[in-house]
Homo-oligomer: A and B are copies of this chain.
Amino acid sequence: MKVTVLTGGVGGAKLVLGLLQVLPAADVTAIVNTGDDFRHIGLHVSPDIDTLLYTLSGKANPALGWGRADESWNFLDTLRAMGGPDWFALGDRDLALHVLRTARLAQGQGLDAITADFARAMGIGAAIVPMTNDCVATQLDTDEGRLDFQHYFVARRCTPHVRQVHFDGADAARPAPGVIAAIHGADAVLVAPSNPFLSIDPLLAVPGIADALVATPAPVVAISPIIAGKAVKGPTAKLMAELGIALANRSIAAHYGAWIDGLVIDLGDDAPPGLAIARTETLMRDHADKARVAQVALDLAASIAG
């Protein structure tokens, strides 16, 4: 059963880790948001791709929730002492990926090929594919003006009031090689419980991806990011409130629209009408949680496919 997952960072990485417990790695493809990518001190940082790489290779930092385990911070300390920008924390080990990626991009290599090599070097069997090799930048119109995503998310800690979300460059972006084929050729397409507005919408903004989701014969199942009427983490709840969207599964279903066939929701939450629904505890704390949520999503997809 070939499964393709649309994903942002942490939540999606957990779901993919669950899938890898119940499926052969070669059957799993993650299409990853790159709207959070940015240049920092000249280095190309791909936060969601790196979260996938670190999580799937067992190198994620469990205490921080970002970056990698066994990290040191001597680069950052020295950068700060030199008067360099220290608002975005780059660990010494983490830096190796950014430096190598930046150098290869400068040579004209695609982010897809670079990411595939990184995944191979880290022993990851699943395919990790950026949504696009082109530059798409998530930006937010806020009460402090238009902010780049990392400025909003890290430097301003999601404090500004968001009025609208933009994906700068998306109009001209092309899906990375393999993206459309992975959606058309899958037996099931899953949408990770990532932030729909910040982590999944960038993928949908790349011309061709939304059309492929409508056209694919595979069932498309989303896992809701809402648990017990709340968002697990990150700015989802605050952002939805600021956008005037109720924090409910019906909002998620309405936002994604006709191209999703099913929704996995938490035990006590609202079940949007008109969709195949599966319920489970969707909070993914340990390996067993992740495998269970993944299996519930796959079972729902199988039941939709009939």
Contact = CB atoms under 8 A, between A and B. Distances in A.
A94 B153 CA distance: 29
A213 to B, nearest CB: 33
Given A42-B99, A99-B79, A100-B41, A72 B92 contact: yes
A117 interface: yes
Given A42-B106, A72-B74, A75-B75, A82 B100 contact: yes
Interface in A152-184: none
Given A42-B106, A92-B92, A95-B95, A100 B84 contact: yes
Q: How large is the interface on A (under 10, 10 to 19, 20 to 34, 35 or more residues)?
A: 20 to 34
Nearest to A71: B74
Nearest to A81: B121
A103 B72 contact: no
B42 A102 contact: yes
Nearest to A43: B99
Contact of A96 (B75, B91, B99, B118): B75
A77 interface: yes
A257 interface: no
A279 interface: no
Contact of A121 (B83, B100, B118): B83
A97 interface: yes
A99 B86 CA distance: 13
A91 B106 CA distance: 23
Interface in A52-88: 71-72, 74-79, 81-84
B103 A42 contact: yes
One complex includes copies of this chain to the number of 2
A93 interface: yes
Contacts of A71: 74
A21 B2 CA distance: 71
A91 B92 CA distance: 9
Nearest to A77: B93
Contacts of A93: 74-75, 77-78
A96 B78 contact: yes
A82 B118 contact: yes
B72 A100 contact: no
A218 to B, nearest CB: 33
A106 B41 CA distance: 10
Interface string A100-139: 1011001000000000011001100000000000000000
Interface of A: 41-43, 71-72, 74-79, 81-84, 91-97, 99-100, 102-103, 106, 117-118, 121-122
19 contacts: A41-B99, A41-B103, A42-B103, A71-B74, A72-B74, A74-B74, A75-B92, A75-B96, A78-B93, A78-B94, A78-B95, A78-B97, A79-B99, A79-B100, A81-B121, A82-B100, A82-B121, A92-B92, A95-B95
Ranked nearest first, the 10 interchain pairs of A and B with the lowest CB-CB distance are: A78-B96, A42-B103, A92-B92, A74-B92, A79-B96, A78-B93, A41-B103, A82-B121, A74-B93, A84-B100
